[in-house]
Amino acid sequence: MKKILYILLTLGIINVKAQFDPQFTQYMFNESFINPAYAGSHDALSFTGLFRKQWVGFDGAPTNVTFSAHAPIANDKIGIGINFMNESIGVMKRNLGLFNFSYRIKINEGKLCLGFQAGVNSFQQNLASVKTIQANDNQFLNNTGVLYAPNFGSGIYYYSKKWFAGFSVPRLLMNTYNAKYSGPTTSLAGLTYYTSGGYVFDLNSNFKLRSTFMLKMAKGTPIQPEVNIHLIYKDMFWFGPTYRLNDAVAALVGYQINQQFRVGYAYDYTISKFSGYNTGSHEVVLNYIFKYKYKNHTSPRLF
């Protein structure tokens, strides 16, 4: 119970700021949540589902379930997509729905995409689930009402067969609400910026090396870099390490079942001062790309 109370104190019983974004280790396969310009980049209708259980063993730790779908339209000049997320952190429940739009420009062997995102957050605090020392504590008898707030985002993304690079601000508004009042407030303070990129190296006829990175930048916090290096065998199986500065090291493994369907798993081991309070994080991602084999690709997309 002390763990739940710690979560409550960390988030704040009364005031909740919802600018934070969930952490994804396999972001290279779920980048539509980070960058709206990613919409349509699989060059076919693509569905992705992801489940992440963070800090296993710590009561009230974050749990995320996401789903995204995106596809190119209008002769590949436009990409559209939808994103949904359900997140639980302590007593707070959050749902997020987003629509992504990208304008795609063919440049040499790749495409430059300019993206925009619009959506709605909903928030609720499940206070009645807390077991209190004092029976019938008035502050914990009822859940808060469901509150809604709009949000917007933008980004730029370039990709080719071998490499990609992107920059985005997925949430342009700071959504903050006070449980004592009837609705949230918004501001432009505290934006989070993402820079990502990656390259696939051909080692020989059987092996490739995929190297990716991400920089996460937010006002008032240190820049958080993340580096991934994965060995790929025959475009079917990959594995390798991930390092997130002052936060975690991770092992990622994945399998391309066929040209349409792939599955990935990541385990994060916490290396921060919080390591003694959890046994790590688990993340599973599933991706299905429709009609991929009819697009004249010789191998599946590797990001």
For the chain, the average pLDDT equals: 83
Query: Is residue 303 domain-resident?
Result: no
pLDDT band at 2 (very low <50, low <70, confident <90, very high): very low
Query: Is residue 91 domain-resident?
Result: yes
Q: Assign 3-state DSSP to the chain and report helix, strand, coil percentages, each to 5.
A: 10, 55, 35
pLDDT tens per residue across span 66-81:
999 999 999 999 999 9
269-277: Cβ within 8 A, 24+ apart: 270/55, 271/246, 271/247, 272/246, 272/247, 272/248, 274/55, 277/3, 277/55, 277/57, 277/58
CA separation, residue 200 to residues 146, 163, 261, 265, 277 (Å): 44, 6, 20, 20, 37
The dihedral built from the CA positions of residue 201, 203, 209 and 213, taken in this order, carries a sign that is negative
Query: Is residue 173 domain-resident?
Result: yes
88-97, 110-119, 289-298: range with lowest mean pLDDT: 289-298
What CATH number is attached to the domain comprising 51? 2.40.160.40
pLDDT above 50 for 3: no
Query: Is residue 299 domain-resident?
Result: no
Distance, first Cα to last Cα, the chain: 41
pLDDT band at 112 (very low <50, low <70, confident <90, very high): very high
pLDDT above 90 for 302: no
Number of domains in the chain: 1
pLDDT above 80 for 179: no
Question: 291, 290, 288, 284: which is closest to 268 by C-alpha?
Answer: 284
Tell me how far apart the alpha carbons of residues 228 and 244 are, in angstroms, rounded to a whole number: 9
Query: Is residue 301 domain-resident?
Result: no
Read off the amino acid at residue 69: A
Mean pLDDT of 110-124: 92
219-228, 242-251, 265-274, 277-286: range with lowest mean pLDDT: 219-228
Query: Is residue 122 domain-resident?
Result: yes
Percent of the chain exceeding pLDDT 90 equals 55
Query: Is residue 70 domain-resident?
Result: yes
Q: Identify the H or E element spanning 21.
A: none
Mean pLDDT of 106-120: 94
* pTM of the predicted model as reported, rounded to 2 decimal places: 0.84
Residue 252's domain comprises 2-294
